[in-house]
Amino acid sequence: MEILLDKIIKKNKIKTKFGTVASYIPGLNKAKKEDLGICLLDMDGNKYMCGNYNKKFTIQSVSKPIALMLAMLDNGVDYVFSKVGTEPTGDAFNSIIRLETATVKKPYNPMINAGAIAVSSMIKGENKEDKFKRLLEFFKLITENNTLTFNEEIYSGENRTGHKNRAMAYFMKDQGIIESSVEDGLDVYFKQCSIEVTAVDLAMIGMFLARNGSLSTGEKIISDYEAKAIKSLMMTCGMYDGSGEFALKVGIPSKSGVGGGIMSVLPNKLGIGIYGPSLDKKGNSIGGDGILEDLSKKLNLSIF
Ligand code: GLN
């Protein structure tokens, strides 16, 4: 397995030249474009790692399914989906357009920024600090990594410059989608996006979902239905407006982030974490995408 991973990483390193590191959030552009790493976990407890699997990066949008899990636990699935839809958009992850034009007045899904901000505003807590503290504890539980923290510089940079996210949040407040404090919701969202992880942490999240919401100890954290909802939304919306092509070429439920992470789940089989900060035009890791395509073809991993 390690030999295969090494080969696939070497092959896809070439692709990283053709992408760009995200720079719209201050600090993200410090990443090294050519970095590429993977961690793969299976149900028997085997762990395979290759490349820059140990490098820390901010989780960004890969945080969206995890925040969704806690919002479901806090509010119930029906309430969450009464405020956020379950349909792909075909638009960019940060698009604002459908918030006003949609016939049903709610963000299309929890994997795009608008939907994710609405979800983060549903996390319960006394104040914004308490809300994020609960969410960070939840991240630690799922990744089984007690050392997780968030990157202050990236958080404050995004808080300072995230005008479009802020605009969408206030629009959703006007529409009654966000019921709690807008600024609390945004603060939780910006902080969760700046949680620092490695490919190993992402593989642990993937494995948690592969086990339908159980920790490695067997402890059940979310219901089968909730786990299935997360995985299906990852499949249909997790790679934004690249989700359809990704389903065709790779066929593995996955979630990407502009920090370069991809978290993938092969139900009942594998958890995969990838790091590769060079992004394609849609904001997905260009090398990570290539790695998953090769891996899926070589090991016949498509769920379809
Ligand atoms: N924090 C980023 C944003 O809101 C997350 C986007 C992403 O990873 N696609 O723009």
- Ligand 1 centroid to Cα of residue 1, in Å, is 32
What are the extents of the domains in the chain?
Answer: 2-60+197-299, 63-193
| Token reading at 233 | 């939304």
- pLDDT (tens digit, 9 = 90+) per residue, 63-101? 999 999 999 999 999 999 999 999 999 899 999 989 988
**CB of 278 shorter than 6 A to ligand 1:** no
| Token reading at 273 | 């974490």
- Ligand 1 centroid to Cα of residue 230, in Å, is 18
Distance, in Å, from the CA atom of 271 to the CA atom of 278, rounded to the nearest integer, reads 22
Q: Which residues in the chain come in under a pLDDT of 50? A: none
CATH number of 2-60+197-299: 3.40.710.10
CB-based contact 264:253 (threshold 8 Å)? yes
Q: Which residues pair with 262 in a beta bridge?
A: 256, 274
- pLDDT (tens digit, 9 = 90+) per residue, 15-68? 999 999 999 999 999 999 999 999 999 999 999 999 999 999 999 999 999 999
The domain 63-193 having CATH identifier 3.40.710.10: the answer here is yes
**CB of 165 shorter than 6 A to ligand 1:** yes
Other residues' Cβ atoms within 10 Å of the Cβ of residue 30: 11
Exposed / middle / buried, residue 2 (Cβ in 10 Å: 0-12, 13-18, 19+):
exposed
pLDDT of residue 103: 83
| Token reading at 5 | 């991973």
pLDDT of residue 67: 98
- Ligand 1 nearest atom to the CA of residue 257, by list position: 8
- Residues comprising the chain, all counted: 304
**CB of 258 shorter than 6 A to ligand 1:** yes
**CB of 92 shorter than 6 A to ligand 1:** no
Q: What angle do CA 238, 268, 295 make, to 5 degrees?
A: 60
CB-based contact 151:110 (threshold 8 Å)? no
Instruction: Please report, rounded to a whole number, the percentage of residues in the chain having pLDDT higher than 90.
Output: 97
pLDDT of residue 104: 84
* Mutation pick for ligand 1 pocket among 25, 58, 64, 93 (CB with most ligand atoms within 8 Å): 93
